[in-house]
C-alpha cells in the first residue's frame, strides 16, 4: 500500500468510531499493529514499529484516533501542493523513548502521533 493510499484508508476509518478496528502499521503499511499486554504496541511483520506505552494507558484505538487526527491536521494545515509523497510515518528514538512521527518533506511539517 502506498503512502497516499494509507492516508486515504485511515481518514476513511476515522469517522466510524469503532474501538476494535484494525490499525494498519503506518511505517510498513503491510500488517496490522498488535498490542501485547498493556505495555507495547508493535508491528508483527517487521521490527519497524515498537512503542512502549507503559503507564500511558494508550490502546490501539487511541493510536488510531491520533493517526486520524494527524492526517486531518496535516490536510487542513500544511499539506503541500499534492505533488509530493505526502505524510510519511517514522519512529524515532529520543531519550530512550520511541515516538511515532508523521512528517512531510513537501511542507516540512512534523506531527507527533504517539
**Site for Zn ion contains 109 (CB under 5 A):** yes
Burial of 20 (0-12, 13-18, 19+ CB in 10 A): exposed
Q: Which of these ranges, 11-19, 34-42, 58-66, 101-109, lies near Zn ion under the rule CB under 5 A?
A: 101-109
**Site for Zn ion contains 70 (CB under 5 A):** no
As given in the structure block, the three cell numbers for residue 40 are 507495547
Residue from 25, 51, 71, 113 touching Zn ion (CB under 5 A): that is 25
**Site for Zn ion contains 101 (CB under 5 A):** no
CB 29 within 8 A of CB 3: yes
What is residue 66's three-state secondary structure?
A: helix
For binding to Zn ion (CB under 5 A), which residues are involved? 25, 27-28, 43, 48, 74, 78, 109
Amino acid at each position: 500500500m502506498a503512502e497516499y493510499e494509507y492516508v486515504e484508508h485511515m481518514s476513511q476509518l476515522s469517522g466510524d468510531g469503532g474501538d476494535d478496528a484494525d490499525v494498519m502499521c503506518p511505517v510498513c503499511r503491510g500488517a496490522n499493529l498488535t498490542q501485547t499486554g498493556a505495555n507495547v504496541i508493535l508491528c508483527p511483520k517487521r521490527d519497524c514499529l515498537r512503542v512502549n506505552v507503559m503507564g500511558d494507558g494508550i490502546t490501539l484505538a487511541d493510536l488510531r484516533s491520533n493517526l486520524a487526527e494527524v492526517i486531518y491536521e496535516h490536510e487542513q494545515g500544511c499539506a503541500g501542493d499534492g505533488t509530493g509523497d505526502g505524510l510519511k510515518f517514522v519512529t524515532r528514538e529520543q531519550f530512550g523513548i520511541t515516538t511515532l512521527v508523521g512528517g512531510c518533506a513537501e511542507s516540512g511539517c512534523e506531527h507527533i502521533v504517539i
